[in-house]
Every structure is written in C-alpha cells, then in structure tokens.
Amino acid sequence: MQKMTANETDFFGFGDSSIKGAIFDLDGVLVDTAKYHYLAWKRLAGELGFDFTEADNERLKGVSRARSLEILLEVGGVSLAENEKEKAASRKNDWYVEYLLAMDDSALLSGAADYLARLRKGGIRVALGSASKNAPLILERLNIAGFFDAVIDGNAVSKAKPDPEVFLKGAEALGLSPELCVVFEDALAGVEAAKRGGMKVIGVGKPELLPGADRYVSSLRDLC
C-alpha cells in the first residue's frame, strides 16, 4: 500500500486542507478488540452447541451487539426467545468485558495514539463514532479518552451503521458540517454510513475487502 507523505497540513492525504474534523470508529481502527469479541461470541456458540469460526466472525465487524447475536444464531441454526436473547447477549458481554479489563496499551493499533496526537496538535477536531456500548471503558483502559472532543458511541445512538446517525451526531458535536469531516472505518457498514452522511471516508484495511472508501491506509501509522 502506498505510503502517504505526512506534510505538515495535509493530515489526511487528500491534498486538501478544508477538512477540520476526524471521526474515528473504535474497534478495528484504533484498538484490536475484534479478537476479544470473537473469543466471547465463540464461547457463547459453544454453550449453544455449535462452532463459530473466524470467517463467521468477519460478519460481525461494525455490527451492533443485538444484530451480532442474530447473525450468530443464524450461523448455528438456533432460535431463542426474546428474553433468552437478552440473557445470551449479556453473558457474551460479561466475558468480553473480562478481556477488556485485562487489556493494556498493546491493544492499541499501530499509529493510533501518534496519529490522534498529531491531529490534536494540528487543530483538527476529533470525535469517536462507534457502535460499541463499551467505548468509554476501552478509551479509559487505553488512556486515549483525552484525545477526543466528543464521544458518540452505542449508548448515544438508536440506529446502527449503515445508518449515518452516529457520524452525523459526531460532526454535530464537533460543530462541523459533514463535508468538513473525514471518517476512519474498517467495516463495510461504517463506510456506507459515512458516505450516506456526506463525509469523506478513509478505509483502514484492504481496498478489496472494503469497497467504497475515498482512500485507504493499512494502519494509521501510514498517516503519522
């Protein structure tokens, strides 16, 4: 992947200094939590009597907890009553939180903290736009809460990505119109949400797995 030149004012590699705000997805963009989600979902699948593979887990990236459970049950061909679904999602979350509590700075993805620092120093406004209800705990565990002017997470939205709500709220909280913001995403639903919200999108990952973004980086290190 092409290394972008980190010129002083071109923070995003678009050669355009009109962008004033950056909105970051969390899981898979700033932190490597997908493995913990996977282990916790796999444990739930095991309890329900079926196997859940890493390939199946790809379908859960960027997807809300409730929708993730629906996909997991579909994979296992299992149906649960509504109250059982709530209990299952909550058990999965308890296991996931155990992993989060044991996590340290090594879970930060390459370049994440350096790039957030670079943006702050350059006067770019920074927001989080994540589906996760655990976002405050993750930011606190990794000591990165102080980088954000605004945090919009799964507790603040009613519509999941690909609906643009989370990113529109992020732009609004930054006091910027959507076209002045760029979104960083590693999931298809997130890329679509950002485009629907009228924002530029930088895909973090392989272009062939994440079509639709305006440009791509393999990690935020490429922009440091």
Active-site residue numbers? 25, 27
Binding flag, residue 134, ligand G6P (CB under 6 A): yes
Q: Which one of 27, 153, 165, 192 is in contact with Mg ion (CB under 5 A)?
A: 27
Three-state SS for 118? helix
Sequence-separated (6 or more) residues with CB below 8 Å from residue 139 = 26, 128, 145, 148, 151
Q: Which one of 27, 56, 185, 192 is in contact with ligand G6P (CB under 6 A)?
A: 27
Binding flag, residue 42, ligand G6P (CB under 6 A): no
Q: Which one of 21, 73, 125, 132 is in contact with ligand G6P (CB under 6 A)?
A: 132
Binding flag, residue 192, Mg ion (CB under 5 A): no
Q: Please say which residue, 25 or 192, places its beta carbon nearer to Mg ion.
A: 25
Asked if 36 and 141 count as a contact pair (C-beta separation under 8 A), the reply is: no
Candidate ranges 109-117, 128-136, 162-170, 192-200; the one touching ligand G6P (CB under 6 A) = 128-136
Binding flag, residue 25, Mg ion (CB under 5 A): yes
Q: Least CB distance from residue 101 to ligand G6P, whole Å?
A: 13
Q: Least CB distance from residue 25 to ligand G6P, whole Å?
A: 7
Run of H or E including 68: helix 65-76
Binding flag, residue 64, ligand G6P (CB under 6 A): yes
Q: Least CB distance from residue 9 to Mg ion, whole Å?
A: 28
Binding flag, residue 62, ligand G6P (CB under 6 A): yes
Asked if 41 and 65 count as a contact pair (C-beta separation under 8 A), the reply is: no
Exposed / middle / buried, residue 164 (Cβ in 10 Å: 0-12, 13-18, 19+): buried
Cα-based angle 3, 139, 220 (whole degrees, multiple of 5): 0
Run of H or E including 76: helix 65-76
Cα-based angle 211, 217, 218 (whole degrees, multiple of 5): 100
Per CB under 5 A, residues contacting Mg ion are 25, 27-28, 62, 186-187
Per CB under 6 A, residues contacting ligand G6P are 27-28, 37, 60-65, 68, 93, 131-134, 154
